Structures are given as structure tokens and as C-alpha cells.
Copies of this chain bind each other. A is one copy, B any other.
Amino acid sequence: MAAATKIFAAQGLSAPTAIIAKEAGVANGSLFNYFQTKADLLNQLYLELKTEMAAVSLTGLPTESDIKHQLFYMWSRWLEWATSYPDKRRTLTYLGVSDEITPASHHAGSQAMAGIARLLERSRENGPMQDAPLGFVVSLMTALAEATIDYMVQDPANAKNHCKVGFDAMWRIVA
């Protein structure tokens, strides 16, 4: 998985399985002892990365603090993870738009983000988006996060500031 993440990040999803196997230090065919198909590998990797991202973002959540602080904590961890593991982040981005990822995987991916969605649900209570579908709000937040990450990666010197600016923008949307 680590090898695949690295190679996909560098070469895109069209990278040959042979390269991944070599990176992993195993033989060409060995890869297919673990994944029946390349598409299988893509789907499992998608789910793993998505799950890890969500899990990391919620680990150590200060549940005692007020909701804005909690949301900011989650947001920070998310963006920190994405900028700390650019390969994982880039690969996850590729996978998210790949047509090899099945609807089932996409659905499972959304499930993994349920915790984040719940946080957002509470954040928008009484806010201007209280009547919009929650899925819509999640999509907007995700889009902002992605755009912010891009900017942080592109201009690392001010990463922390961009992170804050992105969060404030997001907060203005929901609350």
C-alpha cells in the first residue's frame, strides 16, 4: 500500500503495477496475491487513505471545548495530515476522481467521514446553512479544504496562516 501510494503520487494512477511491485520489493506477480486486480488495489487504497484521513482528523478531538474550537481542531489536523503526507494526499485526490473506484467504495468513503459530518452538523445549527442538505455542506467544506491544502503546499512558508484563513472562510459559510 505504501509503495502504491508513493508511485501513484509520482506517476498517476496509470503507473504500471510492475513499478509498484518493484517499489515494494516484491516480484511482479506477487502483487496479485494480495489484490485480485489493479482496480482492487485502487479501491482498497482509496478506502484506507480516506479512513486514515478521517481518523487522524478526529483523534484527540477536544470534546469539552466549544464547537468552533472542535471544528478548528479537526480542520487543522486534516490539513496537517494532508501537508505532512503529500503522497497520500495526492494519491487520494487522484483516486477520488478515478472511474475505477466503485460506487460502493465511494459510499464506504462517505461513511468514514461520518464523524466529520456530525461535527459540521452541529456547527451549522442556527447558521445560514441550517436548511441545506448536510451532504451539500460537507461537499463545500471538503472543497474548501482541498483548495486550502493546495495553497499550503504551494506556499509552505505561510502554510499556517493559509490554514487559518481557510478555516475562517469555512466558518463564515456555516455559522
Contacts and interface: CB of A to CB of B under 8 A. Distances in A.
Interface of A: 11-12, 14, 93-94, 97, 99, 128-129, 132-133, 135-136, 139-140, 142-144, 146-148, 150-151, 155, 162, 165-166, 168-169, 172-173
A88 B148 CA distance: 26
A151 B132 CA distance: 11
Contacts of A99: 11-12
A22 to B, nearest CB: 15
Total identical chains = 4
Given A132-B165, A169-B173, 10 more contacts: A94-B97, A128-B169, A129-B165, A136-B151, A136-B162, A139-B150, A140-B144, A143-B146, A172-B172, A173-B173
B169 A140 contact: yes
A72 to B, nearest CB: 16
Contacts of A169: 128-129, 140, 173
